Structure formats: C-alpha cells, structure tokens
A and B are shown apart, each in its own frame.
Chain A
Amino acid sequence: MVDLSLHILDVASNAFKANASCVQVTIEENENDIEIWIEDDGCGMSREVLEQVTNPFFTSRKTRKVGVGIPLFIQTCEQTGGYVHIQSTVGVGTCIHAKMYTHHIDAIPLGDIAESIFVLVINPYQVDVHFKMKHKEKSCPVFEIDTQQIKEILEGIPLTEPSVMSWIKEYITAGLAGELENE
C-alpha cells in the first residue's frame, strides 16, 4: 500500500464481511505520529482466528478466514516503530488501534483520506459509517460525518443516488479541508 488511506479503506472494509451494522473510523494526527481507530460491531473473531490474523501464511486458502490486509497494515505501522493492536470479541465486534510514527524514514503518507471515506460511506452493504478526523493543526476544526445522520436527512432516498454521492464526496473533501459552513 502506498499510503495510510488505502490501508484504512482496506481494513475498515473487513466490517462489511463481518456483518457489522456500523463501522467507526477515527484518525488523530499528532505532532510525531498518526493514530487510527477502526471499530465495528460485526461478528468478531475467536482467539484462534485472531492469532491467525497477523500471519498471512498460517493456513491454506480453503480454510483461511483472513487475508493479507491486516498483516500489511501491521508491517506499515511496525516499520516506523509503531503498532497495531486488535481487540475482538465474538458476537460483539472488533476494535483496531494503530499508531504510525510520521518522522520515521519508513513512514508512508496519509494519502487521500477523503476518497477512502467516500468509498466506505457509499458501501452497498447498508453498513453505517461514522468518521472523525482530528488534524495536527489545531486551527483546523474536527471533521465528522455520520451516515445515520445523512440517512435521516435523506428520508429514504438512497446514499447511492448519483446526486447524493456527488454531494457526499464534496462534503467530505470540504470537511477535511476545514471548509464547511457552521451549522
């Protein structure tokens, strides 16, 4: 993966396969690191699966329940001295907390977060997405988008309606740039 935004899209997409009703993504930019939380209320993983998650070569494809998305994310964070912590409970959900040190020579850029969040938001699985971004620059306001709130406004019009999708994309881009109207 060339940037963090692709990892975030990839790892958060696991919530779709986990039959989650909601996935929450939080990014916090700090002076020397970026912290990421990805939480879902999906089926969760047993201790056995959780142990396999970090090892892409553990078992054969036929019985494998996990892919290479998580191992790649772990590699990205650990090569900067950071980490990925995964907590999961069967029937409750999964919580991933990661840290990547941004000044390390092997750190990768944050990338196009707006496009990743947009693609998550328009998922065809009816999974709600709640995203929150705290910028390093304290002058830039915290940006949040919650599809539950969007769906309330839409009153039955699908998120995937073309004019709605265009608006969502522009809204996320403007929000991340700190250019939203105060409401």
Chain B
Amino acid sequence: MKSLAELKKIREEAASKINLRTAKDGYRVVVGMATCGITAGARPVLAAFVDQVAAKNLDNVTVTQVGCLGECALEPVVEVFDAQGNRTTYAEVHVADVETIIEQHIIGGNVVTEKTLEVIKAAK
C-alpha cells in the first residue's frame, strides 16, 4: 500500500545519493507540452521518459517539460541536450521511440538520426 510514510524513506535514500550525482555531465530531456504537444501524445512520452530514467537508474539524466517548441505539426517534439549543451531535436516521438532514444542516444551517445526533426521534415 502506498503512503506518505514511504516518501520519507525515499527522501532519506535520495538525500544520501544526491551528493554523488554529477548533474553537470548529464543529459537533459525536454518534452514540448503545449496544446499541440498534448494533443499529439506528448504526455505518455514524458511519462515514459520519467519511467525509463528511473528504471534504468540513469542518475545523470533530467527529464523536464516546456511549452510549444514551434513545430506544432511534427509533435510530439523532444529535445535532448548533452553535457556540452549540444541540442538534438526529435520529432513525432511516440512511446515506442522512447527506449530507442534512451538506449542509443543517452546511454550509447549516438543520435537516433531517423527520428531527428531535420530528417523527418526532409521526408515530408
């Protein structure tokens, strides 16, 4: 059974780990969550990133949300920033693509070229 008491325990565990976190050499995943993104299915994509980052213990990854990224027709749009601040923009990202992006890009360091905004735009 879930309870707030459980959260206290999770807090203690997180507090002991947080000093070891090297946020600055990590990745930042940003999901566009404006009306256009939400309608296209951005919400389960954001949830899937959160789930998989936690499940795979990826301590150097932050998942966050932002408003409209300006590509309303190609939503859901996801931006991945690496530690150096280099941005990769993915378009038409669905739940099934989340694992590929995490495994190939965030863990493996290789951009998933076929899902990038440029490639998807060029194909249209």
Residue positions of A touching B, CB distance < 8 A: 1, 6, 9-10, 13, 16-17, 67-69, 72, 112, 115-116, 118-119, 122-124, 149-150, 153-155, 157, 160-167, 169-171, 174-175, 179-181, 183
Q: Across the interface, do A170 and B64 meet the contact criterion of CB distance under 8 Å? A: no
Q: Across the interface, do B47 and A6 meet the contact criterion of CB distance under 8 Å? A: no
Residue positions of B touching A, CB distance < 8 A: 1-8, 10-11, 13-15, 18, 33-35, 38-39, 43-44, 46-47, 50-51, 53-54, 57-59, 61-67
Knowing A6-B43, A153-B8 touch, does A122 contact B50 (C-beta < 8 A)? Answer: yes
Q: Across the interface, do A115 and B47 meet the contact criterion of CB distance under 8 Å? A: yes
B42 to chain A minimum Cβ distance, whole angstroms, is 9
Q: Across the interface, do B43 and A155 meet the contact criterion of CB distance under 8 Å? A: no
A75 to chain B minimum Cβ distance, whole angstroms, is 13
Q: Which of B14, B18, B53, B59 has the most CB atoms of chain A within a 10 A radius of its CB?
A: B14
What's the Cα separation between A164 and B12 when bound, in Å? 11
Q: Across the interface, do A1 and B39 meet the contact criterion of CB distance under 8 Å? A: yes
